[in-house]
Structure 1
């Protein structure tokens, strides 16, 4: 399978402030050599109607140019080149992004939902067993502390599984854009070398947010120390917290694109973060933020639709204790099963939206659609052989 053309744009030096040169124009029927300015003609160019004199031997320059392989495709395949896969190769709309993510899941169920079930099972099964063993020694005194520790461990394991799934599904989306299907084996082979870089990307983003929270805390302490508990001080602290929340959400949505260049461009963690920040600057950044938040709301509604009926059934069969006591075995098993099902359905969707937002920004800013069309032509030619 040919590697998708998702590498950095030509001329990219790794610095976000350096403009990149546009990708070359693919060959087409209008690319045949013709008269050049100044009267100079390319080799092999002939005037219309010119005939070789009788008896003169032909040379290699007289051979007609061979058409590109993609020009020999059937008309129905040529018509599909503008949308060989799950999205049209042009700047994307909201419907294109959400529809493309769902189409990727539908066309590649084993590499999206199936992969989600496998990865989530590998992570959640040990988490469930450890939690059940830990609850046997939990008393009423240390129940809160044990709950916090177990929640942190579960969150860490869930985060690692989400990172791995996001990287794998980004690769699946990249193949689906060009009309190819990625199986479990090919996806794992393509992404396993990027897992450490993905983990490093998330850890680096976490460090940046911790630094930002530290600065926010210092600022709040300084305001309280300077103005005390007066009305102006409290109002300023509340305003600062609201601005910080908006800023954190805005930055998190922009940096959510970082796994895509780490996998598709095969860059390091810091370069992936700077690429995500560069691609979402300006007005397009707010568009990325809005679509990311909307995708989160959609997955949240889906999770609630799945979780609420199941919780009601468990409470009816076992009793309300399963809901009020988080260490009840039935509550723990139900919670982990819900995480398994919900994660296998929602993570592929949100990862698909992230990958398509990344591709959309590269199409708008770097002309990636030209390279994608050329790659689609090459793959269509290979399929027709």
Structure 2
């Protein structure tokens, strides 16, 4: 007589292997150090240079075309219209171009945050969606538009307050210290403190971009996406909650380091372009003094260097922001545990708690019969 075979136990459900980000992650899934964040941003840009550098080139190319178009139209109006009309057009076109450039930069940073997160976590970022591109990121444009407006207002207020406080403290230092060593040391210390506070304020504003890009309604479904989407307004709350009080100095050092790297890149590129211009000027018989003292030459070199460096700077800054965002979520919410282990629930910072898990299925004991094994 055949012995009835008990049904095989059902294995507990696991995430698909493609979501096992612990094996494919570009960084160690643990809280990162400051050096790992700054160095890891270079690794992210180098690992996915086609997307990280190629996408910002679209913005850089559009900016260059807009500048050339505005310059040509300015010269044309100078020969056909009155002087006041030429100046009015230049001011209006400059303001419109600056506003559009700021919006495109914030939107591009949000797109690159998704690309950076996908590069860091590997294929486990969004296996059910297509690769991140400008076309797939168009639904994020208007939310980022509102975020950029709020960022502009907040940045203007912060800069005004910091500038007022800086000169309010600098005036008595100058009067008391004069030209002596105390005045120089105090002024340098004040400038260093102001730079740190500015970097911290920029860190708060910068974290709103990856928070909205990776937690918003249109964000791909990655492992750390909360059930309740992050909006334009709650993105600022997310930034404050992630930083808290224990990570203030940390965020200031990370963003200060990113700002120093960006300024150094623009300075090196400007020096190289200016050296080429000086070599060309000396080859055609022009003096070096005439080239260096020409404001149009210096302004053009700086503008060209900023436009060319925009692609690399956007990619690096977006990678730094994304790594800092991941680091703070791992420190504050234990996101690294949810990425590494299936049994750890995904942290829900702004959503209601997850429903209780279903009870494990129970199977009836096999029917007893002749020769049955207990």
- The answer to whether TM tops 0.5 is yes
1:205 CA drift (Å) = 2.2
**Distance of 2:130 and 2:4 partners within structure 1:** 58
The match for 1:186 is 132
Superimposed CA distance per residue, residues 105-137 of structure 1 (whole angstroms, 9 cap, x where no aligned partner): 122122111111122112331123203432563
Query: Counterparts of 1:329-368 in structure 2 under 5 Å?
Result: 332=300, 334-368=301-335
The match for 1:303 is 266
Query: Counterparts of 1:123-138 in structure 2 under 5 Å?
Result: 123-134=63-74, 137=78
The match for 1:253 is 203
**Distance of 2:9 and 2:262 partners within structure 1:** 57
> 1:265 aligned to 204, 215, 230, which one?
215
Q: CA 1:109–1:193 in structure 2 vs 1: closer, same or farther (change >3 Å)?
A: same
> 1:117 aligned to 57, 76, 86, which one?
57
The answer (yes or no) to whether the contact 2:25–2:122 under 8 Å persists in 1 is yes
The match for 2:240 is 277
1:156 CA drift (Å) = 3.5
1:213 CA drift (Å) = 5.9
Say if 2:252 is the partner of 1:289.
Answer: yes
Query: Counterparts of 1:53-64 in structure 2 under 5 Å?
Result: 57-59=4-6, 62-64=7-9
Q: CA 1:135–1:312 in structure 2 vs 1: closer, same or farther (change >3 Å)?
A: farther
Say if 2:143 is the partner of 1:197.
Answer: yes
**Distance of 2:45 and 2:236 partners within structure 1:** 26
1:204 CA drift (Å) = 0.6
Say if 2:49 is the partner of 1:99.
Answer: no
**Distance of 2:31 and 2:9 partners within structure 1:** 37
The answer (yes or no) to whether the contact 1:256–1:354 under 8 Å persists in 2 is yes
**Distance of 1:220 and 1:84 partners within structure 2:** 47
1:214 CA drift (Å) = 6.3
The answer (yes or no) to whether the contact 1:198–1:269 under 8 Å persists in 2 is yes
Say if 2:120 is the partner of 1:170.
Answer: no
1:293 CA drift (Å) = 0.5
Instruction: Compute the RMSD of aligned alpha carbons.
Output: 4.5
Superimposed CA distance per residue, residues 52-104 of structure 1 (whole angstroms, 9 cap, x where no aligned partner): xx866345xx4133366679x8xxx99x9535122111111223322322222
Matched residue of 1:257: which SS?
helix
TM-score if structure 1 supplies the norm length?
0.64
Q: CA 1:217–1:89 in structure 2 vs 1: closer, same or farther (change >3 Å)?
A: closer
1:341 CA drift (Å) = 2.2
TM-score if structure 2 supplies the norm length?
0.66
**Distance of 1:189 and 1:95 partners within structure 2:** 34
Superimposed CA distance per residue, residues 244-303 of structure 1 (whole angstroms, 9 cap, x where no aligned partner): 776444322222111011100002221111111111111212201111111111121122
Matched residue of 1:179: which SS?
helix
The answer (yes or no) to whether the contact 2:41–2:320 under 8 Å persists in 1 is yes
> 1:373 aligned to 318, 325, 340, which one?
340
The match for 2:277 is 314
Query: Counterparts of 1:150-169 in structure 2 under 5 Å?
Result: 155-169=98-112
Q: How many pairs were matched up?
A: 305
Matched residue of 1:258: which SS?
helix
Matched residue of 2:108: which SS?
helix
Matched residue of 1:186: which SS?
coil
Q: CA 1:220–1:195 in structure 2 vs 1: closer, same or farther (change >3 Å)?
A: same
**Distance of 1:221 and 1:84 partners within structure 2:** 50
**Distance of 2:291 and 2:99 partners within structure 1:** 24
**Distance of 1:274 and 1:131 partners within structure 2:** 42
Superimposed CA distance per residue, residues 165-222 of structure 1 (whole angstroms, 9 cap, x where no aligned partner): 2111100111112213999963224422112222221211222344456677999999
The answer (yes or no) to whether the contact 1:258–1:276 under 8 Å persists in 2 is yes
